[in-house]
Amino acid sequence: MKRNYFLVGFALLAATLVATAIAYPHLPDMVPAHWDAHGAVDHFSPKWRLFLDVPVGIAGILGLFALLPWLSPKRFEVDTFRSTYLYIMLVIAGLFVYMHGVLLYSALTGRMNMNRAILCGVCLLYALLGNVLGKVRRNFYIGIRTPWTIANETVWNATHRLAGRLFFVCGVTGMALAFLPTPLWLVVSVLAAGPLASVVYSLVFYKQLERRGEV
């Protein structure tokens, strides 16, 4: 099972390299690499960097997720939710592939609103993570890691059940807003609301348990 997830991860890495190789002859020597808050290109880089930046990022994600189980201390192992853990790895790697794809399209056509495209990708990431956050068990690397969730397993589980619903709703809502002519700060605010509400909930719920003498 674990091997299959990593095979998919390496397939995603290979896909970015193949797509770059196909597009490479048709790209200008300098391609857009950064956009300002208004969506205007404010930095260019040599096109050969397309073989480096995102592929190295994906390789780094795969390597990090392979290493973290070994680093996990006792009673906080990621093995307790291994399939969810590896699913999250692929979702994050998939976001990198998506961003690489829109970057290639923008470099080839110049017709992509990158700020909205990237926000759409982040919104999709939120929605996909929201489907599995409730299955994430207490650990030091993934999830809503506040002092109160780390200190108490009941708070952790309740917070992540709520966070799963919030992340999904915020992701879907943010994606809908990103497709409309709404200000980008509104989309960012919607995305920020999910994590912020989850953090506040973890504190409030912990203090409730504390007052009842249950922690």
DSSP string, 51-76: GTHHHHHHHHHHHHHHHHHHHPPTT-
Radius of gyration of the chain (CA): 20
Residues 6+ apart with CB under 8 A from 190: 170, 173, 174, 177
pLDDT per residue over 136-168, tens digit each? 999 999 999 999 999 999 999 999 999 999 999
Domain range list for the chain: 1-112, 115-215
Rounded CA separation 66/7 (Å): 12
Which residues is 152 bridged to in the sheet?
none
Share of the chain above pLDDT 90, in %: 70
Q: Which sign, positive or negative, has the C-alpha torsion 136, 137, 143, 148?
A: positive
For the chain, residues with pLDDT lower than 70 are 1
Which residues is 35 bridged to in the sheet?
41
pLDDT at residue 1, rounded to an integer? 66
pTM: predicted TM-score of the whole model, two decimal places: 0.90
Rounded CA separation 19/42 (Å): 25
